[in-house]
Structure 1
């Protein structure tokens, strides 16, 4: 059993966290570990989140990692529990098993093989696009209510992203006009053909935030580990969008390797334009 008297720490280990720990463990120390843009990590590995909607944030990541674990049990950080502090309800926690990670970057082949396995082995429980809880890309909310078509899901989320940005920076008349044209012409042109004219796509589980800081190697097993996810069942190619951004280490070489292993959806000629759309 966990004993409060055995714990040396700077204050984060709330009774709700202690209650979520495995019964056979004994905590002897808690220290801050790692970095993140929207939470604090600790070794027992606990994330502490005190942003608005903190309870939804931790639930979204917990459920995302659970979903990934079903298909990649040896390649994810394992979620153990999530909840809200008893002593300070303005904070929530997300508890995982600890992995000693090495900040080495996977080759295009190593990453593509993991994504292929995830995308091809997963099945939406409803046969639709979405997820059973809201998730967050960082702290940007993702609307995951189930949709019959990918065009509907993507359009709704893109509109939500615009409204979220406008809530921070205000509206711009020119941008509003351009975005209306975008929704009327660009999105239907690139996404509607995926599910019309006798074509179809399977909703696949995607990590949602695949960039180099969320993919590292386990020092003990040398296996590639995925974490910090914001999953949904989506068009599998959506999982490649951050590889189009020049800020990140994963690049066009990783996209090309994925294309070798997983045939692009029809119309194949639209593949590059679809990835560009997803990267916006």
Structure 2
């Protein structure tokens, strides 16, 4: 057990000291980083041999706080099994003895460079490694999509109940996320109300079902789940760190959706770097549309997190509309129709 001999009124709780290095002494506890959902700290511990060890701590209260800490620990621990060189090593999670309503997550501390977004080769290295090393290694079998625990995107719970097909799992996720968005923002306008059923009836079967039919198949892969630029940074030794995952066993291309989102300064160069190393799922000609489809997840979740930003709904609805129109146009072309994308045949659906 470590000790805390700092001259401060509130020292570290015994539950936290018990999981810090035995014989160590806490020399500093300082705020670290910014979060809208938890308190974060840098804890420096001096060791009897004169060396120091540094840890990162998250802290939150209540039952929701416990679930946040549990999700962080399980998600980060699972990802760390596959990419230990790219992810801070999780230590544990627990509950304070002196304040049983306060919960914590502890990992090693990694010094990051906050301002620089890694270039494509460096940015994609951890996600390429995660996908290549985990593909086909799910402990739940080759036809189970989901995860053993619910994870969190920000503070949003992501239920991950296993399903036997990728289409079934992803359809359930999209329905759940869109329902939650409407609960927070209110009912959709008339256009969106017409788009939503077409999205589920036309778009999802069109771009997800071919992955697992016609002699094709995909393999469950551990996806990170939240690869926005705030979660992938250079370390001070110029290597890259990826963190704050919300993992699940899914289609590896899900992690690429965020790179298409205009909200972030990433884009095609990052996607091209990924495809240098990982094969595109068949049918390959659908890859661009699938990327757009998976981008919707990120955009819908952001719309839930920030319900007062009205443009966020407009953004994901416009991309949903693009996919619906694309599928309807394809169906019209297959029937030999000469109608254009904006023709009356398509508009009849909308």
Which of residues 250, 254, 259 is equivalent to 1:234? 250
Which residue of the partner structure matches residue 91 of structure 1? 102
- Rounded to whole Å, the distance in 2 between the matches of 1:213 and 1:243 is 13
Does 2:251 align with 1:245? no
1-structure distance, mates of 2:131, 2:108: 24
TM-score (norm 2): 0.74
Q: Give the gaps of 5 or more residues in structure 2.
A: 44-55, 297-350
| Equivalent-residue separation in structure 1 for 2:200 and 2:100 (angstroms) | 40
- Note the C-alpha offset of 1:110: 1.8
- Equivalent position to 1:115, from 104, 109, 127: 127
What aligned pairs does 1:131-142 form with structure 2 within 5 A after superposition? 131-142=147-158
The whole-number CA distance in structure 2 between the counterparts of 1:208 and 1:162 is: 17
Q: In terms of mean alpha carbon deviation, does 57-66 or 106-115 score higher?
A: 106-115
Q: Secondary structure at the match of 2:276?
A: helix
Hey, which bits of structure 1, 4+ residues long, moved more than 4 A?
8-12
Deviations 1:191-229, CA, capped at 9 Å, x for gaps: 010001110011111111001111112224x32111111
Shift of 1:34: 1.1
Identify the range of structure 1 (240-249 vs 164-173) with the bigger mean alpha-carbon deviation.
Answer: 164-173
**Root mean square deviation, CA, Å:** 1.9
Question: Offset of 1:11 from its aligned partner?
Answer: 4.8
Q: Is the 8 A contact 1:8 1:30 kept in 2?
A: no
Aligned to 1:13: 12
Equivalent pairs, count: 278
Q: After TM superposition, give the deviation of residue 147 of structure 1 in Å.
A: 1.5
Aligned to 1:129: 145
> Quick one: structure 1 residues 126 and 34, their matched pair in 2 at CA, closer, same or farther if it must change by over 3 Å?
same
Name structure 1 gaps, 5 residues minimum: none
CA distance in 2, matches of 1:207, 1:200: 21
Q: Cα gap change, 1:272/1:8 in structure 2, threshold over 3 Å: closer, same or farther?
A: farther
2:113 maps to 102
TM-score in terms of structure 1 length: 0.92
Larger Rg: 2
One of 199, 206, 223 as aligned partner of 2:223: 206
Structure 2: distance between partners of 1:158 and 1:40:
30
2:195 to 172, 178, 183: 178
Residue 278 of structure 1 aligns to a residue whose secondary structure is helix
After superposition, where does 1:1-280 map in structure 2 within 5 Å? 1-4=1-4, 6-7=5-6, 11=10, 13-44=12-43, 45-50=56-61, 53-103=64-114, 104-122=116-134, 123-127=137-141, 128-172=144-188, 174=190, 175-220=192-237, 222-280=238-296
Q: How far did 1:76 drift?
A: 0.4
Higher relative contact order (CA 8 A, sep 6+): 1
SS in 2 for 1:205: strand
Distance (Å, rounded) in 1 between the aligned partners of 2:13 and 2:37? 19
